[in-house]
Structure 1
Amino acid sequence: MTQAYEDAARRAGARVRELREIAEFEQVTALFDAIWKAPPSGVPITVELMAAFAHSGNYVAGAYAGERLVGASVGFLSGPPGTGLHSHVTGAVMGRGIGLALKLHQRAWALARGLEKIAWTYDPLVRRNAHFNIAKLGARPERYLPSFYGRMEDAVNAGDESDRLLAVWRIAAPGSDAGPGPAVPPRDAVPALAEREDRPVRGIMDGRALLVGTPRDAERLRREDPAMATAWRRAVRETLGALLDEGARITGFTAAGEYVVERS
């Protein structure tokens, strides 16, 4: 159970361990502040809540490169009792493989406690997160959640609606320690939503297999072209959200930044 984590941690040049002390939780809040730059009323997690989670047997872990904290993750047990962990927030220094080491440590922690799945939410517009969750880990988004967190004021999300996908990683399944890689679309797949020069272009919603595109850089659009970012938000909600609501399944994510969605 731990070999995949150990290999990922070695490649990242880091070690991941559970956190127990107030000083460690303060390091996490400083790291998350550097990532999200949230106002005091909108921090992703507080020192007090981390202390309560760690004390009550939930997941609070940090990734260290030497003595420097370079990533952290906080989650709590979810229902039905004894089956899952909800990974509330994970943040890491980008480009080093720290996020993968954290998630595989989290998987090993959950399996050691007899859990079957880990779930978390992420912004469906952010390509790198979709690729990481679906292609790298093998998690599958199961629900589209419009405006899930309400209004957010941090530097990453401000000015946008907080739509999220609920990703579920079935960690007890064979091969769940490695994702399938980018998806090759079925030959009969048709575009329901495409990206053309930063713009969302609607296609057709008929067909057994559909492709739902994403913007090349959603976070840049939020900063530089809020109207276009809003257009993407609404377009993805009205295509991907509608397809999931009717019972279609996301089966992969392509190298071109498209969700592969299939009807039964």
Structure 2
Amino acid sequence: MSALVTGVGTGDGGGLDVRELRDVGEFEDAVRLFDAIWRPDPGNRPITVELMRALSHAGNYVAGAYQGGRLAGASVAFLAAPIGRALHSHVTGALPGRGAGLALKLHQRAWALERGLDRVTWTYDPLVRRNAHFNLAKLGAHAEEYLPSFYGAMDDAINAGDESDRLLAVWHLSEPRVLAAARGEPYVPEVPADAVTGLAVLEGLPSPVPAGAWAGARTVLVAVPEDVEALRRADPDAARAWRHAVREVLGGLLAEGALVTGFDRRAGYVVERPGPLERLGS
């Protein structure tokens, strides 16, 4: 499957040719691209040529986005539970400013729908603001589960020195908000007037609000740092404080049955808590 995608933010207005990758040379190009993005230790790459070859041959999703004949992004996903309904996207990397990330996700969605699948899942770092906006607003996905230290220690240049907490994103491919996002209409969550802040920003640091102050609130807002990747380099202790604060507040809310309804650029995660009857299962 190949698609020429235009109008998705390519820096020079050119189209992106998105297609499945099938030969070893293409997989090697993808590994080089991922190395340039994550700069991992040679023994700690997000995926290898051999694994991409095996996944592709077994009928899974391995694709690349080309601009001007050069690889600008790549994505690898495999069929997952529930069997016959889901695809799990393991890694997607794209060069900035070309629209390749969005083009790959739209191609991945079409690929999944052609095979009768109704959802795509992936994980992402809840502290990375641009990824939260891309996943929940630009794609219309849901964040459905908080996964502490999901990958264990990671030694690449982006994640080194931090714990690998992740949110599980679930993309329900035919949901109205996803259909709108695919048309270029990002999902903007409603922030009720009575929403309360559970985690705020104070001089660049996390400032948790005591749980008793929002115990009865239906909607809770959870802030994230402006640029956690820069913060990891400049002030690792501050980045670590953000990790633990978001784990405690956002992870705690999801553990009690709350739902992330979206991501607001100013307020952060918009989280709706279940009412008393919902907690009882009524």
TM-score in terms of structure 2 length: 0.89
Unaligned residue ranges in structure 2 (runs of 5+): 275-282
Q: Deviations over 1:22-48 (max 9, x none)?
A: 000000000000000000221000000
Which residue in the other structure is 1:191 paired with? 197
- Indicate the residue corresponding to 2:226 in structure 1: 216
Give how far 1:177 is off. Answer: 3.6
Question: In the aligned structure 1, how far is the partner of 2:111 from the partner of 2:249?
Answer: 36
Distance 1:168 1:38 in 2: 27
* Per-residue CA distance 1:241-262 (angstroms, 9 max, x = gap): 0000000000011121510000
1:126 paired residue among 128, 153, 165:
128
Aligned residues: 263
| Cα distance between partner residues in 2 of 1:256 and 1:181 | 15
Q: Could you tell me whether the CA contact under 8 Å between 1:117 and 1:168 is conserved in 2?
A: yes
SS of residue paired to 1:44: coil
Q: Which residue of 2 aligns with 1:201?
A: 207
1:135-214 map, 5 Å: 135-179=137-181, 180-205=186-211, 206=215, 207-214=217-224
RMSD over equivalenced CA pairs, Å = 1.8
Specify the alignment match of 1:225 in structure 2.
235
Unaligned runs of 5+ in 1: none
Query: For 2:270 and 2:242, how far apart are their aligned partners in 1?
Result: 17
1:1-264 alignment runs, 5 A limit: 8=8, 13-179=15-181, 180-205=186-211, 206=215, 207-256=217-266, 258-264=268-274
Distance (whole Å) between structure 2 residues aligned to residue 4 and residue 174 of structure 1: 24
* Distance of aligned partners of 1:115 and 1:5 in 2 relative to their CA distance in 1, 3 Å threshold: farther
Identity of aligned residues (%): 60
* Separation (CA, whole Å) in 2 of partners of 1:83 and 1:114: 7
* Preserved contact between residue 9 and residue 16 of structure 1 (Cα < 8 Å): no
Indicate conservation of the 8 Å contact 1:104/1:177, yes or no. no
Q: Is the 8 A contact 1:211 1:261 kept in 2?
A: yes
Shift in CA distance, 200/7, structure 1 to aligned 2, threshold 3 Å: same
Q: Cα offset for 1:137? A: 0.4
The residue identity in structure 1 corresponding to 2:60 is: N
Counterpart-to-counterpart distance in 2, 1:172 and 1:46 = 32
> Secondary structure of 1:31's match?
helix
CA change 1:26–1:257 in 2 (3 A) is farther
**CA separation in 2, counterparts of 1:237 and 1:12?**
41
Give a deviation string over 1:108-128, Cα, whole Å, max 9, x none: 000000001000000000000
CA contact (8 A) 1:146 1:163 kept: yes
Aligned to 1:16, the other structure's residue is in SS state strand
Q: Distance in 2 between matches of 1:95 and 1:201?
A: 33
* Partners of 2:113 and 2:188 in 1: CA distance: 26
Distance in 1, Cα, partners of 2:118 & 2:173: 6
- Tell me how far 1:198 sits from its aligned partner: 1.3
The CA distance in 1 between the partners of 2:56 and 2:4, in whole Å, is 24
Q: Which is greater in Rg?
A: 2
Q: Aligned partners of 1:95, 1:162: CA distance in 2, in Å?
A: 26
Q: C-alpha distance in 1, partners of 2:118/2:210?
A: 37
* CA distance, structure 1, for counterparts of residue 51 and residue 9 of structure 2: 27
By how many angstroms is 1:19 displaced? 0.3
